[in-house]
Structure 1
Amino acid sequence: MPEWNIPYDFMLCEKTDCPRAAACLRHIAYMRELETETILRIINPRKLPADDSGDCAFFRDATPVTYAFGFKKMQGRMFPAQYVAFKNILMARYGRNPFFERRKGAFPLSPKEQAWIKRAARRAGAEAEFEFDSYEERYHWMD
């Protein structure tokens, strides 16, 4: 099970009668924070659905997702010209330093970002299956 490092600015939901509360990361985090914190950042209850349909714009699935770290190993699986093209695509999107931080695994890459990086490798002509250096299960707090 991943660690519960709830970000400070993550909005919590206090609606206990919601049919999706047991699977909602915002509500589960609320229940945990209720026991330990003095001040909570909650979603305005008046902005939550009044009915019990479970159709909520604030719902966030509590199922952990796989985050990736780094892609140094991939350089050895590409031809030099492919890697240069790949690096240029990523540098155009992220900039120089953020590219190198991502490459060395300085911070986690969300599933959405992983997919974008894999597409960039295919656009650069890489034919090998793209694998990141390591993976970790985490809660998906932010987009």
Structure 2
Amino acid sequence: MKSSSETPLASCHYPRCFNIQCTKAEKCLHRLVAVHDTSDYPVISIVNPLCIPADSEQCPYFKSTQKVRVAWGISHLLDEVPSKSFQPLKQQLIAHFGRGRYYRFYRKECALSLEDQDYVRKAFQQYGIDKEPVFDFYSEEYKW
């Protein structure tokens, strides 16, 4: 996922779908991008019409337009963590996410998915921390 300033609607690389007969078109992100396309990009990516199954209910390219709530930033995540748990918890998070990804979360370059947020919540519980993890902010994003 990218930040809300660069959604799939603003990307020339996200495949468009021009299948107007598709029964799932109204709820498909590939179709939504195609419908809202502009002339900003002279070259775009599309789903090959020859690869779309006749039964659109079985389309492997379908991506829901339903948005998900993602968290951004962990700069204050460990502020309320007891000092005895601070370092081990931080090390566990870095071990799970990897150092690069952990610091991308910290710098708000990458959002925490629902699964990522759940992992942080469970890690807090493992260390006996009853408070909800504090992320810098939330946004609604397409899951693409």
Normalised to the residue count of structure 2, the TM-score between the two structures is: 0.79
The residue number in structure 1 matching 2:24 is: 20
Gaps of 5+ in 2: none
Superposed counterparts of 1:30-69, under 5 Å: 30-33=34-37, 35-36=38-39, 37-52=41-56, 54-69=57-72
Partner-residue secondary structure (3-state), 2:26: helix
Structure 1 residue 4: deviation in Å? 6.6
Cα pair distance change 1:131/1:41, threshold 3 Å: same
CA distance, structure 2, for counterparts of residue 87 and residue 4 of structure 1: 30
Structure 1 residue 3: deviation in Å? 6.1
The code of the aligned residue for 2:64 comes to D
The answer for the alignment partner of 1:132 in structure 2 is 135
In 2, Cα distance between the equivalents of 1:134 and 1:18?
36
CA distance in 2, matches of 1:11, 1:87: 38
The alignment partner of 1:77 has SS state of coil
1:72-91 alignment runs, 5 A limit: 72-91=75-94
CA separation of 1:12 and 1:131: change in aligned 2, threshold 3 A: same
For 2:75 and 2:84, the matched residues in 1 are separated by 16
Q: Give the number of aligned pairs.
A: 138
CA distance in 1, matches of 2:5, 2:101: 25
- Runs of 4+ with >6 A deviation: none
Corresponding position of 2:99: 96
The yes-or-no answer on 1:122 pairing with 2:131 is no
User: What do the CA deviations read for 1:66-85 (whole angstroms, capped 9, x no partner)?
Assistant: 12111233312221222222
> What CA RMSD, in Å, does the superposition of the two structures yield over aligned residues?
2.3
TM-score (norm 1): 0.79
Indicate the residue corresponding to 1:107 in structure 2.
110
Structure 1 gap ranges (5+): none
